[in-house]
């Protein structure tokens, strides 16, 4: 890791500076070739599963659909649902995998050469059109496959929990507040996120340094509870105002009305 990057982050944030000193330089594996269809297929397989189970499913996918190599998008589209289910994919993951293959053939999911030419937000916009692929999944691709330097996955639990530990907070930071705080880490927010993940490791080992200063996160404007409830409540039907009713007749008025009706009835009988 470039010492200039660590120096800039340390100047921008004293708490992060203490974490950098405690952890040392970034240790990262060399980047692998990025094949978007394969990377996202693996991401779908790993959802809600541990690494061993997900790798077993992927191995079966290679054996059953790819004949020993990672299957192409067309092979996945042609594969019967029963074959993918037998490999271990749930119905939801089968649908996501086939949708990924469809979007890859349609070039919504680009090839690696084109992907490298797109900005971070362009990549997020395009890849999140695939069923089952969310922003977090694409952010991991940006950070670890494409090595983009300025990605801050504010919805990642590990990043939020690491921030809480490193900065001595009582609760997890709100993603929007974390994003606002992270503005000071630009354009190296990916490195800052890496150190926040390491903060949890130091905490478990009991070697996490105390924060150099107490901070107050930017306040995130929240809707009032009443407004939130009103937004969730179905709209009420507007009642059409009724014509003003005449006051109810009293007992005396009722008696008079009966006499008038009897009188009119007698008159009608007399006219016959």
Residues recognised as catalytic: 156
H, E, C per residue of 95-150: HHHHHHHHHHHCCCCCCHHHHCCCCHHHHHHHHCCCCCCCHHHHHHHHHHHCCCCC
Output Rg (C-alpha) for the chain, integer angstroms. Answer: 33
Tokens of 244: 């003003």
Q: At what angle do helices 157-167 and 14-23 cross, to 10 degrees?
A: 100
């Amino acid at each position: 890791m470039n010492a200039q990057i660590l120096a800039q982050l340390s100047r921008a944030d004293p708490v992060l500076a203490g974490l950098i000193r405690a952890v040392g330089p970034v240790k990262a594996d060399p980047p692998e070739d990025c094949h978007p269809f394969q990377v996202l297929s693996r991401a779908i397989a790993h959802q809600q599963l541990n690494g061993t189970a997900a790798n077993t499913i992927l191995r079966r996918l290679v054996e059953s659909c790819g004949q020993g190599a990672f299957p192409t998008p067309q092979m996945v589209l042609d594969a019967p649902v029963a074959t993918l289910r037998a490999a271990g994919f749930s119905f939801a993951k089968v649908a996501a995998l086939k949708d990924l293959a469809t979007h890859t053939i349609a070039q919504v999911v680009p090839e690696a050469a084109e992907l490298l030419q797109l900005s971070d937000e362009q990549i997020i916009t395009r890849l999140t059109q695939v069923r089952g692929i969310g922003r977090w999944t694409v952010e991991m691709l940006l950070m670890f496959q494409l090595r983009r330097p300025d990605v801050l996955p504010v919805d990642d639990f590990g990043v939020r929990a690491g921030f809480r530990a490193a900065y001595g907070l009582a609760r997890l930071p709100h993603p929007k507040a974390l994003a606002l705080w992270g503005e000071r880490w630009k354009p190296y927010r990916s490195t800052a996120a890496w150190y926040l993940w390491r903060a949890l490791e130091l905490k478990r080992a009991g070697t996490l340094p105390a924060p150099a200063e107490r901070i107050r996160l930017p306040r995130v404007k929240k809707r009032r509870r009443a407004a939130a409830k009103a937004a969730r409540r179905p709209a009420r039907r507007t009642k059409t105002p009724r014509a003003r009713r005449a006051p109810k007749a009293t007992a005396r008025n009722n008696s008079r009305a009966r006499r008038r009706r009897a009188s009119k009835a007698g008159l009608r009988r007399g006219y016959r």
